Amino acid sequence: MAAARWRRWNTAIHRDLGYLCAGLTLVYAVSGIAVNHTADWNPNYRVTSSSAHLGGLDPASFGAPGFARETLDRLGLEGEVRGTFRPDPGTVQIFLEGTTVTVDAATGQATWEQVRNRTGIRQANFLHLNHPKKLWTWMADAYALALVLLAVTGLFILRGRKGITGRGAWLTALGVAIPAVFLILYF
Amino acid sequence: MRLSMCAAAAVLALLACRPAEQAASSTPAGNPEAAMDAAAAVEAVRAFDTGTTYGAPITLTEVTKVSEILNSPAEWIGKRVLVEGLVVAVCEMKGCWMDIASDRDFEKVQIKVDDGVIVFPLTAKGKKALVEGVVEQLELSEEEARAEAQRKAEEHGEEFDPSSVTGPQTILRIRGLGAVIAD
């Protein structure tokens, strides 16, 4: 009788925590894949680069009023000029909202880089990597504890051959062995 | 944030009437002109009223020109400063550093923050930033300098030429504690 009551509680906790954690798990899973591959892509931004040849340029004109606007017009780029910067005498950078144009006097080449948010994934990364801090830190801790409870209660959902005393034991052992093997290989 | 900026501006207004020795926390000895005059500093700080705060709130009220720090780095190392400038580059992967332009052509200074503690958005490029931090100097061996240059090249998806690093390097940067980036 006591055992049956215990199992009912175990199942109820596992079921309700599972519902509660579904959204958070998706956020963490999507972001986990995204940030796992930072060597291959930028998980937060889509950065595109373009270039055009502007021909002979006199670096002395870089500081002239109207130079930035005129250059943008020649490149067909719209938007308010937020600022300019000269990293060296032969180069000028022009900044627009989300776009940086770099003009090289020596080559007459203009390249511009446009930065766009990866909507959805950036937000997931923001939460996953705990950039908000503050209350989110507690929320993330609570979620981690909920995952512990989900894992433990999950072990005891089924009884019999497919439960923790049968096939479940082997699969659980495999789940423990996987990280252990990678630790042996790489740690 | 807005409250702290208003408080900063108010304190700054009071500073205008304050004896010079009290304002020395971010001004090295012998360089009293290093900080902007009070009125200009008030304007500089006020411009960030509608910005986004990263890290700790700004506590200093006097803005120091980047060019002054670069003029005599040794005098500034270890000092807490408030600098202001256009964001001209941001760490693409982790947002763990950004470069702000000096008030003088062809110069910039890097703001380095602890990974994950403060994260500067890539979209900050071209916006004005007000940054409080501690000036620090890094001495890199040739090997370390090469590794750092390679890391940066990879981050920008550029080809790395090992011969571009020819010896040890000294890097002056600001360890960022807090920043406001104008919207």
Do B88 and A97 make contact, defined as CB atoms within 8 angstroms?
no
For the record, the structure tokens of B7 come out as: 């408080």
The residues that bridge with B133 in the sheet, in sequence order, are: B81, B176
pLDDT of residue B98: 97
pLDDT of residue B46: 65
Is beta strand B97-101 parallel, antiparallel or unpaired with respect to B108-112? antiparallel
CATH of the domain at B67: 2.40.50.140
The Cα A103–Cα A87 span in angstroms is 11
Q: Scanning every residue of chain B, which has its alpha carbon at the shortest distance from the alpha carbon of A126?
A: B119
Largest CA distance in chain A: 90
Distance from CA of A62 to the nearest CA of B (A): 11
Count: domains in chain B = 1
Exposure pattern of A70-86 as b/e (b: 16+ CB <10 Å)?
ebbeebebeeebbbbbb
Same domain, A80 and A171: no
The residues that bridge with B182 in the sheet, in sequence order, are: none
Distance from CA of B100 to the nearest CA of A (A): 10
CA B32 from chain centre, in angstroms, equals 19
* Predicted ipTM of the assembly: 0.82
Same domain, A125 and A173: yes
What confidence tens digit (pLDDT) does each residue in A138-178 have? Answer: 999 999 999 999 999 999 999 999 999 999 999 999 999 99
Same domain, A55 and A68: yes
The Cα A77–Cα A51 span in angstroms is 12
3-class SS of residue A152: helix
- Chain A residues in contact with B128 by the CB 8 A cut-off are 83
Test the B interface: residue of A44, A67, A85 with most B CBs within 10 Å? A85
Domain of B153 in residue numbering reads as 2-181
For the record, the structure tokens of B141 come out as: 């061996």
For the record, the structure tokens of B48 come out as: 């960030």
Answer yes or no: are the C-beta atoms of B101 and B109 closer than 8 Å: no
The Cα A18–Cα B91 span in angstroms is 37
Is the pLDDT reported for residue B16 higher than 50? no
Instruction: Give the end of a domain, one of A73, A98, A117.
Output: A117
Q: Scanning every residue of chain B, which has its alpha carbon at the shortest distance from the alpha carbon of A89?
A: B106
B interface residues, A as partner, C-beta within 8 Å? 86, 88, 92-93, 101, 105-106, 108, 116, 119, 122-123, 125-128, 154
- Chain A residues in contact with B127 by the CB 8 A cut-off are 82
Between B73 and B37, where is the model more confident? Answer: B73
% of chain A exceeding 90 in pLDDT: 88
What confidence tens digit (pLDDT) does each residue in B106-122 have? Answer: 999 999 999 888 999 99
- Chain B residues in contact with A82 by the CB 8 A cut-off are 86, 126-127
The Cα A95–Cα A143 span in angstroms is 41
Confidence of residue B160 (pLDDT cuts 50, 70, 90): confident
Do A85 and B125 make contact, defined as CB atoms within 8 angstroms?
no
pLDDT of residue A78: 94
Compute the Cα dihedral for B172, B54, A24, A120 and give only its sign: negative
Answer yes or no: are the C-beta atoms of B33 and B20 closer than 8 Å: no
pLDDT of residue A39: 82
Confidence of residue B37 (pLDDT cuts 50, 70, 90): low
Same domain, A79 and A131: no
Count: domains in chain A = 2
Same domain, A50 and A113: yes
Confidence of residue B6 (pLDDT cuts 50, 70, 90): very low
Least confident range from A29-33, A38-42, A113-117: namely A38-42
Average pLDDT, rounded, for chain A: 94
Do A47 and B106 make contact, defined as CB atoms within 8 angstroms?
no
- Other CB atoms within 10 Å distance of the CB of residue A44: 27
Same domain, A127 and A173: yes
Instruction: Give the end of a domain, one of A65, A92, A117.
Output: A117
Dihedral-angle region of residue A11 (phi above 0 means left; psi in -120 to 50 means alpha; beta otherwise) = alpha
**pLDDT, average across residues A107-112:** 95
Domain of A96 in residue numbering reads as 45-117
Straight-line distance from the first to the last Cα atom of chain A, in angstroms, rounded to the nearest whole number: 47
The Cα A124–Cα B120 span in angstroms is 16
Confidence of residue A113 (pLDDT cuts 50, 70, 90): very high
Burial class (CB in 10 A: 0-12, 13-18, 19+), A173: exposed
CA A69 from chain centre, in angstroms, equals 34
- Chain A residues in contact with B181 by the CB 8 A cut-off are none
Instruction: Give the end of a domain, one of A99, A117, A135.
Output: A117
- Chain A residues in contact with B86 by the CB 8 A cut-off are 82-83, 85, 95
Confidence of residue A23 (pLDDT cuts 50, 70, 90): very high
Is the pLDDT reported for residue B2 higher than 50? no
Confidence of residue A63 (pLDDT cuts 50, 70, 90): confident
What confidence tens digit (pLDDT) does each residue in B56-110 have? Answer: 999 999 999 999 999 999 999 999 999 999 999 999 888 999 999 999 999 999 9
A91 to chain B, any CB pair closer than 8 A? The answer is no
Going from the C-alpha of B83 to that of each of B9, B11, B127, B179, the distances in angstroms are: 15, 17, 14, 9
- Other CB atoms within 10 Å distance of the CB of residue A2: 6
Answer yes or no: are the C-beta atoms of A164 and A172 closer than 8 Å: yes
Do A85 and B108 make contact, defined as CB atoms within 8 angstroms?
yes
A100 to chain B, any CB pair closer than 8 A? The answer is yes
Nearest to A87 among B106, B116, B154 (CB): B106
For the record, the structure tokens of B110 come out as: 């890097």
A78 to chain B, any CB pair closer than 8 A? The answer is no
Same domain, A175 and A148: yes
